[in-house]
Amino acid sequence: MLTVIGEALVDEVLRPGQPVVPHVGGSPLNVAVGLARLGHPVQFLGRFGQDPYGDMVAAHLSANGVMVPLVPDSQATSIARATLDADGAASYDFALDWSLPASLATGS
């Protein structure tokens, strides 16, 4: 069993005059998914919330065969927002929560 530890987040892409387009991401989460797609048994240890974006994260991991032993918490799922201007140049804003799940923080 391989274990990947790190962030899970949703990338929001905003284009002028268009609705927000969310994408599940986070480098460690992407590594876990890649390993699973290559046929390795893998689990992902990272936090995400009990919210619609957290549901997207959980569904993406599950659909790709990644085990998730930690339950979502009550904090918002982290977001990386890329706003594209009319010329396609991006500016970025982040709403990240780096807290550990209580079970890891307390060692229980």
Residue 98 — very low, low, confident or very high, per pLDDT cuts 50/70/90? confident
Residue 51 lies in a domain: yes
Hey, how many other C-beta atoms are within 10 angstroms of the C-beta on 33? 22
Residue 90 — very low, low, confident or very high, per pLDDT cuts 50/70/90? very high
Residue 103 lies in a domain: no
Domain total in the chain? 1
Residue 86 lies in a domain: yes
Share of the chain above pLDDT 90, in %: 86
Which residue range forms the structural domain that includes residue 70? 7-98
For range 8-19, the mean pLDDT? 95
Whether residue 73 has pLDDT greater than 60:
yes
Residue 70 lies in a domain: yes
Residue 84 lies in a domain: yes
- Least confident range of 6-20, 41-55, 84-98: 84-98
Residue 82 lies in a domain: yes
CATH of the domain at 58: 3.40.1190.30
In whole angstroms, what is the distance from residue 5 CA to residue 28 CA? 6
Residue 11 lies in a domain: yes
Q: Which two tokens stand for residue 58?
A: 């959980």
Query: Computed over its alpha carbons, how large is the radius of gyration of the chain?
Result: 15
